[in-house]
């Protein structure tokens, strides 16, 4: 009897605790709660977001924004665990690649996102940037773009000038400059390119592959990895890797090599610019996009998305909040949390006087405009003919492309055999879907 | 007789009341997640809880146990755990024996020894990555440029074999202070007269260790080995941040759970790991008893 009573008490308390773990939708004074998950955990960034939230709450006294800042390294893991426990925040900052994962599991309220995009005006965003957020059918979007970054080849103008060399434009010229500067005995190399068995290699290589019209899928969504174009791009990348630092090069190695003058060219994102500015070298950096058959820029877009399954009042409040954050002056504040690194994806932000007068943006002069314009040349593996294939997420998760790059560059393996292996890994991953 | 029964009943009531907070917390924090994990392992689970989960019976278990990558990973983890536990325990014991005597600056030296254990992993891992960096690491600089030990600098963390050796050395270096502290504490409790008696009987250093030291430290030795084995068997952070050429089980599990978002399969891996570790620990504890007569 006693044991029964004790068990009953334990079960009751247990149920109370578990049910208390759920989300509240309104505050005690009746305001609608909108949880906002983002990756800005640093004090200075939080201060900017707090200011924006305070401004929004003043304009909308019936809504309470509850921030959920999560450190970048744990971000995706947190999305998965919160989603699974049914506690996914209403508004989430998400990268275009992870938006695909959320889209696949129907975690995004497409209708709400499109409603906000219609209010904000799709035409205000750079085409390449908003395309990255297109859904698989090409008719809808998985988020409202707020900022982005692009990747390309950065070069040291003075180093090139000292050797009497011009800015390289295409594959052949890039190879020429890289060869000229390589002196392995003195630990000097021509170009820093990613060779690590990680996402950076897939991103870096994709620029060369896509500039040679080699994508992972064709228009019908069929796997097209083993093609003459892809073979050609891999052969070029392998040859170019002779002029890069030995071993697996990831972001740290590449940034260090460029900043300390080991290489005159480096493949990196715009997040190299804040360090260049700090070194007082803003006038000495140039930006090129590898070109063969066409120009291909790799970029990522950060967007605000609205999660599915919200109650009507939360949904409406979330739409209002995302719409507010997408107003040019508010997005400008967001982008300027990391000036130089985060780039505007909304043309109205690029034209905003506050953005243009920022000291970092000003220091890079025309380069800032050149970078902003390059958003129109963004291409990505899995984005074909306006369709953004969700299964590309599985290809990336399989790690097949980074392993292929690492094996042919660092491991010196043959392209044909490694390409076959990668194709098999991807096919297996796609079959498991 | 009646009095005894009454007293027993009163004790039971009191015991239940006192045990209640602990039982409640155990249920909430250990039992519920454990049973939930076992339940998940029989399902194909979407991330979205509003979508239907599919009961797939033992399919997750069959997939894992027939995956060659899992078996490779298991073998690698067993080897990693055995070498790192063995290495860190032996090194900890040797240093503790060396430090179990009076000498100048003994306290300072002891504090310095535990530095690698108390420093956050992330700082140590980055220091090691810089030390073994292919282009500007101090190891390649000393080995290649200063002492000319090799013509071409080895790619330490790019080769699966050298990567494995390095992660094992890292684990030994990082975790030996735990064994050191534990052994030093027990060594200080051993009566010195036992060593004196052994010396009078003409025992060598090895015999003194075998007859006096080893039986005395056995309970601590078993605890150190058991705990370190559990911790290293589930290791993830150190290896994941140092290299991507050593896919031990922690990494295999992480990739399955979060790269492919296959929560059911990941849950089944953790159940399999628990069963393996449970059997190993029980077998080890039965084999060697606490009195050191194993």
**SS3 annotation, A203-247:** HHHHHHHHHCCCCCECCCCCECCCCHHHHHHHHHHHHHHHHCCCC
In a domain, B212, yes or no: yes
Is the pLDDT score of A197 beyond 70? yes
| Rounded distance between C-alpha atoms, residue A385 and residue A392, angstroms | 14
Let me know if residue B10 belongs to a domain: no
Three-state secondary-structure class, residue B281:
helix
**Contact yes or no for A309 and B259 at CB 8 A:** no
Q: Is the pLDDT of residue A18 over 60?
A: no
**In this structure, is residue B121 part of a structural domain?**
yes
Q: How far apart are the first and last CA of chain A?
A: 51
Torsion of CA A75, A80, A84, A87, to 10 degrees: 20
Rounded Cα gap, residues A198 and A39, in angstroms: 21
Helix-helix angle B263-287:B32-40, to 10 degrees? 120
Residue A26: which of A53, A54, A66, A57 has the closest Cα?
A66
Q: Is A20 on the interface with B (CB under 8 A)?
A: no
**Structural domain span for residue B128:** 60-287
What pLDDT, on a 0 to 100 scale, did the predictor assign at position B193? 92
Determine, for residues B244 and A196 on separate chains, whether the beta-carbon distance falls below 8 Å. Answer: yes
Say how many CB pairs under 8 Å bridge A and B.
Answer: 89
pLDDT at B8: 53
pLDDT tens digit sequence for B163-187: 999 999 999 999 999 999 999 999 9
Q: Which of A18-27, A86-95, A287-296 has the highest mean pLDDT?
A: A86-95
Tell me the mean pLDDT in the region A192-206.
95
SS3 category, A428? helix
**Under the phi-then-psi rule, with left for phi > 0, alpha for psi from -120 to 50, and beta for the rest, what region is B43?**
beta
Cβ within 8 Å of residue B75, ≥6 positions away: none
What residue ranges define each of the domains in chain A, with the CATH number in brackets?
24-147+301-364 (3.40.190.10), 150-299+377-432 (3.40.190.10)
pLDDT (average), residues A166-176? 94
In chain B, how many domains are there? 1
CB contact under 8 A, A397 and B260: yes
Give the CATH number for residue B272.
1.10.3720.10
Burial of B180 (0-12, 13-18, 19+ CB in 10 A): buried
- Interchain pair B258, A76: CB under 8 A: yes
Residue in B25, B157, B261, B263 to test binding to A, most A beta-carbons within 10 Å: B261
Q: What is the pLDDT of residue B1?
A: 46
**Interchain CB distance below 8 Å, B259 and A399:** yes
Q: Do A10 and B47 touch (CB under 8 A)?
A: no
Task: Report residue A185 as tokens.
Answer: 């005995």
Q: Do B261 and A429 touch (CB under 8 A)?
A: no
The pLDDT, as a whole number, for residue A182 is: 96
Best residue in A18, A76, A186, A246 to probe B by mutation, most B CBs within 10 Å? A246
**Quick check: B28 and A248 CB within 8 A?**
no
**Residue written as tokens 């101090």?**
B138
Q: What kind and span of H or E run contains A113?
A: helix A110-120
Q: ipTM score here?
A: 0.76
CB contact under 8 A, A77 and B13: no
Choose the mutation target among A84, A107, A191 for the interface with B, i.e. most B CBs under 10 Å.
Answer: A84
Please tell me the distance from the alpha carbon of residue A333 to that of residue A355, in angstroms, as a whole number.
8
A10 close to B (CB below 8 A):
yes
Stretches where chain B sits below pLDDT 70 are 1-9, 287-294
Distance from CA of B229 to the nearest CA of A (A): 26
pLDDT at A23: 64
Contact A40, A337 (CB under 8 A): yes
User: Which range (A267-271, A390-394, B280-284) has the least confidence?
Assistant: B280-284
- Which residue has better confidence, A293 or A26? A293
Residue A91 has pLDDT above 60, yes or no: yes
Confidence of residue A250 (pLDDT cuts 50, 70, 90): very high
Tell me, yes or no, if A96 comes closer than 8 A to chain B by beta carbon.
no
**Partners of A300 in the β-ladder:** A149
Percentage of chain A modeled with pLDDT above 70 = 94
Q: How many CB atoms lie within 10 A of CB A51?
A: 12
pLDDT score of A72: 85
Looking at chain A, which residue has its C-alpha nearest residue B154? A247
Interchain pair B27, A10: CB under 8 A: yes
B271 CB within 8 Å of a chain A CB:
no
In B, which residues are within 8 Å of A202 by CB distance? none
Distance of alpha carbon B158 from its chain centroid, rounded?
25
Tell me how many degrees the CA angle A193-A195-A198 measures, rounded to the nearest 5.
Answer: 120
Contact yes or no for B50 and A6 at CB 8 A: no
A238 closest CA partner among A102, A409, A95, A377: A409
For Cα atoms B120, B125, B128, give the angle at the middle one, nearest 5 degrees.
130
The pLDDT score that the predictor gives to residue B148 is: 86
């Amino acid at each position: 009897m006693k044991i029964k009573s004790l068990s009953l008490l334990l079960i009751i308390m247990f149920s109370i605790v578990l049910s208390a773990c759920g989300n509240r939708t309104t505050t005690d004074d009746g305001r609608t709660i909108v949880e906002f998950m983002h990756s800005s955990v640093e004090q200075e960034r939080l201060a900017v977001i707090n200011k924006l939230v305070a401004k929004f709450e003043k304009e909308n006294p019936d809504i309470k924004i509850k921030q959920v800042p999560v450190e970048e390294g744990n971000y995706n893991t947190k999305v998965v665990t919160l989603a699974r426990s049914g506690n996914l925040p209403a508004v989430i900052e998400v990268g275009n690649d992870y938006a695909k994962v959320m889209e696949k599991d129907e975690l995004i309220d497409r209708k709400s996102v499109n409603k906000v995009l219609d209010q904000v005006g799709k035409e205000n965003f750079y085409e390449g940037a908003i395309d990255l957020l297109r859904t698989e059918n090409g008719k809808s979007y998985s988020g409202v773009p707020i900022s982005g970054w692009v990747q390309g080849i950065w070069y040291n103008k003075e180093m090139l000038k000292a050797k009497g060399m011009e800015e390289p434009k295409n594959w052949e010229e890039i190879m020429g400059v890289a060869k000229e500067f390589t002196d392995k005995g003195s630990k000097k190399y021509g170009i820093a390119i990613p060779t690590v068995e990680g996402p950076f290699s897939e991103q870096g290589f994709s620029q060369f592959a896509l500039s040679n019209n080699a994508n992972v899928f064709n228009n019908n969504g069929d796997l097209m990895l083993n093609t003459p174009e892809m073979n050609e791009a891999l052969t070029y990348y392998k040859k170019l890797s002779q002029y890069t630092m030995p071993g697996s090069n990831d972001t740290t190695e590449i940034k260090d090599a460029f900043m300390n003058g080991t290489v005159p060219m480096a493949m990196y994102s715009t997040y190299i610019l804040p360090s260049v500015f700090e070194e007082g070298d803003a006038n000495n950096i140039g930006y090129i996009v590898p070109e063969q058959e066409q120009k291909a820029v790799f970029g990522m877009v950060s967007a605000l998305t609205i999660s599915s399954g919200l109650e009507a009042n939360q949904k409406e409040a979330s739409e209002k909040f995302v719409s507010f954050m997408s107003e040019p002056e508010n997005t400008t504040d967001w982008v300027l949390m990391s000036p130089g690194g985060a780039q505007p994806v909304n043309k109205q932000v690029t034209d905003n006087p506050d953005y243009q007068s920022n000291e970092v943006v000003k220091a890079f002069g025309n380069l800032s405009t050149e970078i902003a314009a390059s958003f129109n040349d963004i291409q990505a593996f899995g984005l074909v003919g306006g369709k953004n294939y969700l299964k590309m997420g599985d290809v990336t998760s399989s790690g097949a492309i980074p392993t292929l790059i690492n094996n042919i560059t660092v491991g010196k393996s043959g392209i044909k055999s490694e390409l076959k292996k990668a194709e098999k890994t991807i096919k297996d991953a796609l079959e498991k879907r | 007789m009646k009095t005894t029964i009454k007293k027993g009943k009163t004790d039971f009531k009191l015991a239940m009341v006192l045990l209640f907070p602990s039982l409640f917390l155990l249920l909430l924090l250990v039992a519920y997640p454990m049973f939930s994990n076992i339940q998940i392992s029989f399902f194909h689970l979407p991330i979205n809880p509003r979508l239907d989960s599919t009961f797939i019976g033992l399919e997750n278990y069959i997939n894992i146990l027939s995956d060659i990558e899992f078996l490779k990973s298991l073998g690698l983890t067993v080897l990693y755990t055995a070498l790192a536990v063995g290495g860190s325990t032996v090194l900890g014991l040797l240093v503790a024996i060396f430090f179990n005597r009076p000498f100048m600056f003994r306290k300072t030296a002891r504090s310095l020894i535990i530095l690698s254990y108390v420093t956050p992993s992330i700082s140590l891992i980055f220091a090691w990555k810089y030390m073994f960096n292919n282009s500007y690491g101090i190891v390649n600089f000393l080995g290649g440029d200063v002492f000319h030990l090799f013509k071409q600098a080895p790619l330490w963390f790019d080769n699966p074999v050298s990567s494995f050796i390095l992660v094992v050395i890292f684990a030994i270096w990082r975790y030996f202070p735990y064994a050191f502290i534990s052994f030093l504490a027990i060594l200080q409790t051993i009566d010195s007269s036992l060593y004196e008696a052994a010396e009078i009987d003409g025992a060598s250093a090895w015999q003194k260790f075998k007859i006096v030291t080893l039986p005395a430290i056995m309970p601590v030795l078993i605890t150190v080995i058991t705990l370190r084995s559990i911790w290293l068997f589930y290791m993830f952070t150190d290896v994941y941040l140092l290299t991507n050429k050593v896919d031990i089980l922690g990494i295999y599990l992480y990739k399955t759970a979060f790269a492919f978002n296959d929560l059911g399969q990941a849950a089944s891996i953790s159940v399999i790991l628990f069963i393996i570790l449970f059997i190993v620990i029980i077998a080890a504890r039965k084999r060697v008893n606490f009195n050191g007569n194993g």
